[in-house]
Amino acid sequence: MARDWSAIEREKRQFWVERLAAANPDEAFEIADELRQEVLAVRPDWPTAEERSEDLKAHEALSALIRRASPRRPG
């Protein structure tokens, strides 16, 4: 039980960052769906209404930032 769980979690996250970066869109979608199915097996109620609301707010905030970003102009 004396494992460095935070280090293990960091390594897992890094693995998935690299794996998804190397994947084509179809592979990335398949991986994401497999992860979603695993979560649902453990938490059938996921995502809750509150989690969905928080996720929507995050997407709206990101969308607003993207809209406000000025495009690079050649020259």
Confidence of residue 73 (pLDDT cuts 50, 70, 90): low
Instruction: Write down the pTM of the prediction.
Output: 0.56
pLDDT at 14: 95
Q: What angle do CA 65, 69, 74 make, to 5 degrees?
A: 160
Q: Which residue has the higher pLDDT, 16 or 54?
A: 54
CA distance 27 to 36: 14
pLDDT in tens, 30-67: 988 998 999 999 999 999 999 999 999 999 999 999 98
Question: Does the pLDDT at position 74 exceed 80?
Answer: no
Angle between helices 25-42 and 5-22 (to 10 degrees): 140
Counting every residue written for the chain, the total comes to: 75
